[in-house]
Structure formats: structure tokens, C-alpha cells
Structure 1
């Protein structure tokens, strides 16, 4: 979550830079070069801390999650390696040319460099989300009793995992929304103070159009993610709706309610009929399964997993035992559920009925957190559509200077981060108790570290990256206060609507026109 404070701004700004520089190449108006370089500077400041925090996570998998890395590293490691080779190296190679090649490359060549940076940035997100999508829906891999690890059986299924693809387009679109709100908000600050108005108006026009398309796509692609949950993560879907009992068709979605975990119901529940059925099943005549029915299914899978676990243990003693092999093959898809019992007993085969029932209840994630995270994320998503639609109209009819509109843009700046972090809470807490859904419980994936060792690393990294974050924010604020710099011709650009106050070299002696 800390790393992702920096990633979405990088994702969105990279393609907005491509749009801005494309306008510069096509029109040859100097102002668009100024605009591109200004937002490029903010992109660069943010890019640095995104890289630093991302690299730390790569090492964390081995240090804090060593058994996870051992157990599923054959699958999880491949997308991370490809991300480094295909995407990060591409991004890192061209980012230097983007910043220092303005006077050395032709306009089309520099535009291509900027595009390669944007492509590398978004390809990085693709491969990381392929890895995370596999954790949500482990397709294309099987447990090998000979090696006692998960191994790839079909890499194409890992790559084209429907959950991974849905997560990628939804997450990247959310990054585009965040960048558009950021650009609109900073532009609104300039317009509010009547500074750099030529840059601000054009930046806001790009952000309004880019943001409107992105915000609409986030909602559409979020709906697709909801549909994917029906096939792959039904417990997550039921938990985010606080739906303890199976919802009969036509299933309605809760607009408001207060989850009551103790009584296993939702108090003050206000529903919109049909909507949940349309999202989850693409129909109005099918039920949506509730939490309690899903725990019954989990209990059955735990009992099946115990049989698979027994087969694995017998194969460890005698790999040629055909009866044990047949036993394992018949129940191997449920092996991970037996591992949930290791929280209560060393050998799942020794588990009591009470332990099995308790392990099935452990498959319920934190319902109140899920319920409210989803509503924060979805509510803000629809608010962004309204904001961008308003901005698009304001830009079209040249009403940029409406004070109420500018205030709304400025106030909106932090909210995309809140929505995105709520989305990650939803995705990751919703997967609990699994590190890899149905395969490896989270508690088994951790390294054998003491609490003191874990706290010392958390405190250490928090201090280091906290200091770096303060430095980064100060640099961003300083760059925004300084504003766009002059062009090489001694003035910002050759556009006729430039006012004297648009030029930082000219002192402001009174209110701007």
C-alpha cells in the first residue's frame, strides 16, 4: 500500500505526457513543450520514490515470506523476473533520454522516447498484476508431491488469467484517474491564483478529457472484476456485501448498511434490487451465494484436502505407491484447505471436527473492513465521473475560472489515493486467510522470524521511506510553486493569449488580467 502511493501517479502521468508532447510535435507550439516538461518534472520526482519502494518489496518476499517464496516461487518469480527484464529496464533506459534529450533529439524521436517510458511503466504494472492475479486465482499451476512445491503447468494460463487481466485494466485505469485529478487540481491552483493561466487551461483540458474516459473505464472494468469474483472468489464477493445468507434472485446490492458480525446480518440495509445479480451473475434469475453457505463448502473442501494431504505423506515415504498417488490426484485441488488446519494441529490428519469447523470459519475475511472499503472505493469512483464530466463542460465552454469549480478540483486531489488504497484493502484483505487463494494460507508463508526482528525492519523501513516521502512531497510542492519554466526563446511560448504574469522572469506588480 505504501509503494502504491507513488505508482498510480507514474502510470497516469506517463501517458498524459505522451498526449501533451504529441500535441507539441503536431502543432510545434512552444507552450506544449513547456507543459510537457513541467509535468515531466513532477513525474520524475514521483518516479524515484516509486522505484525505491518497489525494489525493497522484491527483497521482502525472500526475507519476510521465505516459505511463500519457496512454495510458489516457480510461478510467482517468473512474472517478477519478466517485469524486471522487459518493463523496468525499458523504462529505466529511456527515462534518462526523456529528461536530458530535449536538445539532442528531434521532436518525433523524443516523443518516441516518452512513449517508451510510458509503455515500460504500464508493462511493469501488467507483470506485477499478473503475479498478484495469480495469488487471487492460481491458474496454470499444480502441486508436485515430488518437490513439495507449486509448479507451472501452463504459463499461458498464468499470463491470461482472467482475474489478472481484469485487475490490470482496472488498476491502471484507476492510476489514470488519479493522475488526471492531480493535473486538474494543480491547474486549478494556478487558475485560482491567476498564475500560469495558459499552461493551466491547456493542462486542465487534457486532464478533463483523459480523466473522463478513464473514470468511466474504471467503473466498467470494476464491474468486470466483480463478475470475475463470482467464478473465482465468491467469499470475497459475499464479504464485501456483508451477505451472510444466500441472496435469492433478483439479488440486490447494498447501498448502505451496518455489518453486524455477531448476529450475522446487515443492520439498516438499503438495497437496490437486481444490481448485484447483474454484476455477479450477469442475470436476474440466479442467486448469489452467501457467507454461511460458502463456509459449508469450505468445510467439505477441508475434509477432502485431508485425504489429499494423507496421499502426499504416503508418497513422501514411498513415491511408487500407486494407491496413494490415485488418492492424491483425486483430491489435490483441495490440498491447500487441509493446510488451514496447521494453525491448530501439526498434522491435519489428526484434526478434530471442532478444528475443521473453526478452520472453515477462518475462510471469512474481515466483513466490516470489506464492506466499507468497497463503498468508499465505489462511491469515490462515481464522484470522479461527475467531477470530470463537469470539468469537460467547463473546459468546452471556457468557464475555467468558476471559483466553486476550481475549489472542487483542489479539494479532490487526495481522494483518488484514498479510493485506490481502499481498493487494495478490498483486494488483499478479501483474499484472507490465503496468501495464494485456496493454495497456501498466509500464516504458513511467513519466514521464521521473531516479532522483534519483524518490528525492527518495519520501523526501519518506515523511518527511511518516511523521510524520503517528506523530501519528495517538498520537492513536488517546490516545483509546483516555482511553476513551469521559460522556453529557450526567452519567453514561455509564442501563444497570443499569454499575459505578462505568465512569465516568471517578469515581476508581478498587481493583480493579473
Structure 2
């Protein structure tokens, strides 16, 4: 990939997005775990649950602050590096982001302050409501952001206005309840829950190995294992839903993930292992599992999943239709001044309008040619072939990142299920090797989540909006040097933030939970609660 303005802008946004998403999943998961722990405290009156909530809340706070700092930059990047994208789809894309800021982020940020400073100023129930509001705000924030992102993957409820050359909302309901957005939301949030559960599990296992804060560690591991197991299982189910939707809305992404070069007879096999060769268009040493991909991708035994080569041929046809739509669009726009004062529409303009209404949805494919020719109508067959090849993402990258992600997901199910059983049997401290595995597993959820974002975002290239706007057409008119300079600046600042985050988190973990300053309950109440537990 040449280091031109498009490549540098993509690299900059990818870097900031991946950095930011180091903080988001832990915030999502810890917010719910805090609410569960404090609910137990309010219901039982046991001070140890309050102490647990405050300790894990400290780690949540550190992560939350740095997550906010890295997330704000991304919103400004749309105007700095992707100005034509902002102009073209701002009316649609901006709405969920604005709602996220007004409805979700302000809710979350407001109650975060009450969570930390309201322990001695609010009643138990009042503070519990505050904690649940933090969790609700965090998840609402993710919802609206993923609605915006889901629309980029499946642009429903919208249409291009030929007069303004902007996408406009035709159905806000369709945008909000976009099936791709909803599947992405529940899948991403569940992955965040797994991330926080493995984090709590690993830190608690470290305390168990060191013989410190044993009672808090055991209770934390019990909550994390239970919540983590349910979340890990849901990630698999919801990931299957995302794969099914890709069969309908993002066929090329699915074919690239499977390195499926040719269309297979239904039901298609799943490639468990292999070495995709994009140059030769084959997968070396492939190991196939019959029927599995067909069942996952189509949920039937008779529906075919198109291969990469077939989809490339379809792209050529769509590009030629897009050229016709582009020609009709230019005719419509050229006729606007004359039509404003005319009493009768010219026949050719009416034909252009009818043509655009019929094939205008293919206009984005004509824009793929803008990389090679100023006027897509002048494109040669060779340029059309090249634009069609551009619709194929990097197959080896998608193939391996997807399999690493899935493999780690299976590991998380096994790990959380093991500790769930040990917790039920009250044997959490019986196997030191398992505690050590839990500690070393702490960074693995971030690996799986980052790879999941690579699959989702890298897989839809060359589109910034699937089938509507190519990435190459969406960038700002900046110099490559300016983008490179800001890229290096962001990398330096974000690296410093990561170091700060790690230092603060490690220091807080080493210090451990602080003794709670709330007066203990009377002996009778404590005895009754202990018996109930």
C-alpha cells in the first residue's frame, strides 16, 4: 500500500481507533460488574462487597478517563482527515453521534462523579442507582456509536439527493434498527463484558497466588467467572448472527474471511486451516470441515455462498451500471438551473431521472474508478477490471485475524467455565497452575477484540460506506506530509497515555483494596447475613 494521502489517513484513523478501543471494552464490562457487586452489597449489607466495589471502581475510573481522552480525537478526525465523508453523509452519520453525546456520554460522565464522591453523601440505594446509571450510560454510548458504524456497513434508511450531493435520512427508524448495527452492538458489548471478566479474574488470581486479599479475590473471581461465562457464550451466538448478516450485506467480506475463491456447492465447507495466496487465488494446505460454513453463513443446506472470483465478476457489472448512474446524475445536475424556470421537463432529463432512480444505488461502484480516471464514463475495460479487483480486501489478513479471534473466544469459554466450576465447589485456590494461566490470560481479550475490529473494518475495504462511497473518495484535500506529521504526533501521545494507564493500573493493583471506613454492622446482622450467604 503506497503511503499516499488515502493510505496515511486510513493508517491514522486505524491507529487512533485501535488505541481507543483498548479502553472501551474494559469500561463497558467493569461498569456492569461494579453494578452487580454493589447490588450484592446493598442486598446483603456485607462491607466486603462495598470494599470490592470501591477497589474495582478505582480501576474503572483510571480506564474511563483515558478512554474519554482518546475518544474525543476520533470525532475531530472526521472533519480533519475525512472532510468529503463528513459532507457526503454528515446528515446521517452525525445524528447518532450527537445523540450519543447528549443522551449517553453526559449521563455516564455525570454519574461517574457521583459514583466516586457520593459514597458518604448518598443513601445505599441512591448510590446503587448511580452505579447502574454509569453502566447504562456506558452501554448507551456504545449503542449509538455502533448504530453509526453499522450504517457504514449497511447503509439503510437513506438516499442520495442529486441536487445537494449529500446522503439524507429517509427513515430514522431503519437507521436505528439496522440489523447489522444491532448485531454489532450486542456482539461488541458482550466482548467488552468478557474482557472485564478476564481482567477481574486474572487480577484476583494474582492476589490468590500472592496470598493477599483472599476473601475479596475469591468473591471477585466468582462474579467474574459467572458473568464471563455467560458473556463468552453470548459472544459466540451473537458472532454467528453477524456472520449470517454478512452473507446478505457484505458477501465479499465473508468470502475473504473464508478465503473462498470459488463458489462451492451448498452447503459450503469451513476452512479451519490454510495459507491463503491472494496472488495465485488459492489456499495452500487447506483443511476443510464439510457443511459448517454453509450452515453458519446461510442457516440452510441449499443456499450457496458466492466465492471471491464470482463476486469480482459481479462487481464489474455493478461498475458498468454505476457508470450509467453517474452519467444520469450529471445530466440531472446540469439541468437544474434550466428546470427551475421551465414549464415542461425535457424528455432526456426525465429519462435520466428514471435511469437514476433505477440504478442510482450503483453510483458508488462508478466512484471506484476515480482512482484511475477523472471521468468514470471514460474508463477503459482495463480500469474497470482493476476497480473490480479493488473490491477484494486483503484475504490473508482477514483469514488469520478471524481465526485467532475465534480461537481465543473458545479459550475464554473454557477458562471461565473452569473457574465457574471451581467456584461452585469452593476450590478456587486448589490449582496454582490455573491461577497462573488466568494471570497470563489478562491481555488476551484485547488481542481478540482488536482483531475483531480489524476483521470488521479492514474487511469492508475499499468502502468507507459499503457500496456507496469508496474510502479513496472520502479523504480531505491535505498534503501527505501534514497527515504523516499528525500520525506521528498521535502515536507519540497515545503511547504516553498507554504508559500512564499501565502505570496507574499496576500501582492501584499492587496497593490493593483499601480498608473501608464505613462502620461495621452489628454482630447479629452480620451473623444472619453470613448464614444467608
Q: TM-score, structure 2 length as denominator? A: 0.92
Measure the CA separation in 1 of the matches of 2:517 and 2:474: 56
Q: Contact 1:486 / 1:492 at 8 angstroms: preserved in 2?
A: no
Q: Contact 2:24 / 2:67 at 8 angstroms: preserved in 1?
A: yes
Residue in 2 that maps onto 1:169:
186
1:380 and 2:437 aligned: no
Measure the CA separation in 1 of the matches of 2:180 and 2:522: 47
Quote how far apart the aligned CAs of 1:456 are.
1.0
Residue in 2 that maps onto 1:450:
479
Measure the CA separation in 2 of the matches of 1:247 and 1:388: 37
- The Cα offsets for residues 64-106 of structure 1, whole Å up to 9 and x where unpaired, read as 1100100111110000000000000100111100000000101
Quote how far apart the aligned CAs of 1:265 are.
1.0
Residue in 2 that maps onto 1:422:
451
1:371 and 2:399 aligned: yes
Measure the CA separation in 2 of the matches of 1:192 and 1:326: 72
Residue in 2 that maps onto 1:87:
104
Residue in 2 that maps onto 1:133:
150
Residue in 2 that maps onto 1:44:
61
Measure the CA separation in 1 of the matches of 2:496 and 2:484: 18
Residue in 2 that maps onto 1:344:
372
Q: Contact 1:14 / 1:114 at 8 angstroms: preserved in 2?
A: yes
Q: Contact 2:19 / 2:494 at 8 angstroms: preserved in 1?
A: no
- The Cα offsets for residues 16-59 of structure 1, whole Å up to 9 and x where unpaired, read as 00100000000000000000000000000000010011111111
Match runs of 1:10-159 below 5 Å: 10-159=27-176
Measure the CA separation in 2 of the matches of 1:398 and 1:105: 35
Residue in 2 that maps onto 1:204:
221
Match runs of 1:250-265 below 5 Å: 250-265=267-282
Match runs of 1:378-417 below 5 Å: 378-401=406-429, 402-417=431-446
- The Cα offsets for residues 215-234 of structure 1, whole Å up to 9 and x where unpaired, read as 00000000000000011000
Q: Which runs of 5+ in 2 are unaligned?
A: 1-17, 340-348, 528-533
Residue in 2 that maps onto 1:286:
303
- The Cα offsets for residues 400-423 of structure 1, whole Å up to 9 and x where unpaired, read as 111011011001101000000000
RMSD value, Cα = 1.3
Structure 1 residues 35 and 431, CA, compared in 2 at 3 Å: closer, same or farther? Answer: same
- Please state whether the residue corresponding to 2:21 is helix, strand or coil: helix
Give the length in aligned residue pairs: 496
Q: Contact 1:485 / 1:492 at 8 angstroms: preserved in 2?
A: no
Q: Contact 1:132 / 1:164 at 8 angstroms: preserved in 2?
A: yes
Structure 1 residues 487 and 362, CA, compared in 2 at 3 Å: closer, same or farther? Answer: same
- Please state whether the residue corresponding to 2:286 is helix, strand or coil: strand
- Please state whether the residue corresponding to 1:183 is helix, strand or coil: helix
Residue in 1 that maps onto 2:239:
222
Quote how far apart the aligned CAs of 1:122 are.
0.4
Quote how far apart the aligned CAs of 1:492 are.
12
1:303 and 2:320 aligned: yes
Measure the CA separation in 2 of the matches of 1:417 and 1:490: 39
Quote how far apart the aligned CAs of 1:491 are.
8.6
Quote how far apart the aligned CAs of 1:493 are.
12
Q: Contact 1:291 / 1:364 at 8 angstroms: preserved in 2?
A: yes
Q: TM-score, structure 1 length as denominator? A: 0.95
1:2 paired residue among 1, 19, 25: 19
Farther off after superposition, 141-150 or 205-214: 141-150
Structure 1 residues 489 and 95, CA, compared in 2 at 3 Å: closer, same or farther? Answer: closer
Residue in 1 that maps onto 2:495:
466
- Please state whether the residue corresponding to 1:142 is helix, strand or coil: strand
Q: Contact 1:70 / 1:149 at 8 angstroms: preserved in 2?
A: yes
Structure 1 residues 493 and 212, CA, compared in 2 at 3 Å: closer, same or farther? Answer: farther
Q: Contact 1:254 / 1:271 at 8 angstroms: preserved in 2?
A: yes
Measure the CA separation in 1 of the matches of 2:294 and 2:214: 48
Residue in 2 that maps onto 1:333:
361
